[in-house]
Amino acid sequence: MAQVNYFLTEEQQMIVELARKISREKIVPVRAELDEKEEFPWDIIKDLAQADLFGLYIPEAYGGLGAGCFEMCLALEELAYGCIAVTTTFAASALGGYPILLFGSEEQKARYLPDIASGRRLSAFGLTEANAGSDVAAIQTTAVEEGGSWVLNGTKQWITSGGEADIYTIIALTDRNKGARGATAFIVEKGDPGLGFGKKERKMGLRASSTRELIFNDCRIPKDRVLGKRGQGFIIAMRTLDLARPGIGAIGVGLAQAAFDEALKYAKERIQFGQSIMSFQAIQHMLADMVTQIEASRALVYAVARTIDAGAKDFAKLSAMAKLFPTDMAMKATTDAVQILGGYGYMKDYPVEKMMRDAKVLQIYEGTNQILRNVIGQAINKEYAIRGCGN
């Protein structure tokens, strides 16, 4: 039976097959154990590094493969099929690397990107604080220039790979009186004096990923660690999130596909009233909705990623859409998968229980889906103010 053809190139198909092989052979067999033990997946990180996947989005000049947002989405979707906690660790390193790629000086790129591309050092992104989640302009972490150094003070909260990563891109206030224009981006390295880490957070899902506070206590870093220009911090943060959000949508697609496959397999095997439950129209309708919404989400993510790679300038709305729709879909698909499995679906013996727990965070991190609706709403309001309705 025909499948949707996304006309992947030979190189793109190779990326899919490579990520799929790691997902099925390395991730799936250990995902339940990693989740139960809340264990950081260092062995799988090494496998991903050996496969050169950490360098997918990084130019060849810095040791990467020079691919784009689309290829990242292909890899993330396949890895997420296995476990989104592992995949989030992989994606978080790209989130920390994007600011250096987009706004770093030549010296900064040459210093940091080869290590990130090879997977020798993980990177992470530090924006969120206790009182600055959706309202990112409310951050309180400060950076003060003292002689030839910057001195950072404050705390970043819920940082993925906190304590495990070696390279952090941090947004801090350098001029409180300028509001959002008073924020600047910095590169902070593990081992810099004054950088500490909080306890590992215990979470409902995503338990194999590490989430910690970053604590800056008179953290002193060299003057040349500023990313971009002073006062450009929020622009860097927003551009970074815009580039990363289609990848979160791809993670939603991969997770939902895995949940659908488990539900379909069970529906064909489970016998009730003398026949498989797959023969019941109620189950068929649930599976039909799932597979249709998964394909629609995949098509949206791929189209937006390709638009970004084609050189689109302002893609905040499209990027928000590419995260919003697939992640809401993934939450529903995993919930429906648990429902189809019934009591078994609620047990840890079956993977859909973990998938449903994991799915929730996709609607929260890298911009809650409510904030993304704001982004989309403000964008369409601006568009129609310019061109008028119906034009």
- At 389 the pLDDT is 62
Mean pLDDT (the chain, rounded): 96
How deeply is 348 buried, as exposed, middle or buried, from its count of CB atoms within 10 A (0-12, 13-18, 19+)?
exposed
- The secondary structure of 157-196 as a DSSP string is EEEETTTT-SEEEEEEES-GGGGGGGEEEEEEETT-TTEE
Burial 221-257 (b: 16+ CB within 10 A, else e): beeebbbbeebbbbbbbbbbbbbbbbbbbbbbbbbbb
- At 204 the pLDDT is 97
Residue 391 has pLDDT above 60, yes or no: no
- At 138 the pLDDT is 87
How deeply is 386 buried, as exposed, middle or buried, from its count of CB atoms within 10 A (0-12, 13-18, 19+)?
exposed
Minimum mean pLDDT among 49-53, 133-137, 250-254: which range? 133-137
Q: What are the backbone angles phi and psi of residue 121, rounded to the nearest 5°?
A: -130, 130
Q: How confident is the model at residue 376 (pLDDT cuts 50, 70, 90)?
A: very high
Each residue's pLDDT tens digit, 58-75: 999 999 999 999 999 999
Alpha carbon distance 246, 301 (integer Å): 6
- Paired tokens of 292: 């249709």
How deeply is 127 buried, as exposed, middle or buried, from its count of CB atoms within 10 A (0-12, 13-18, 19+)?
buried
Among all residues, which ones are annotated catalytic? 366
- At 179 the pLDDT is 81
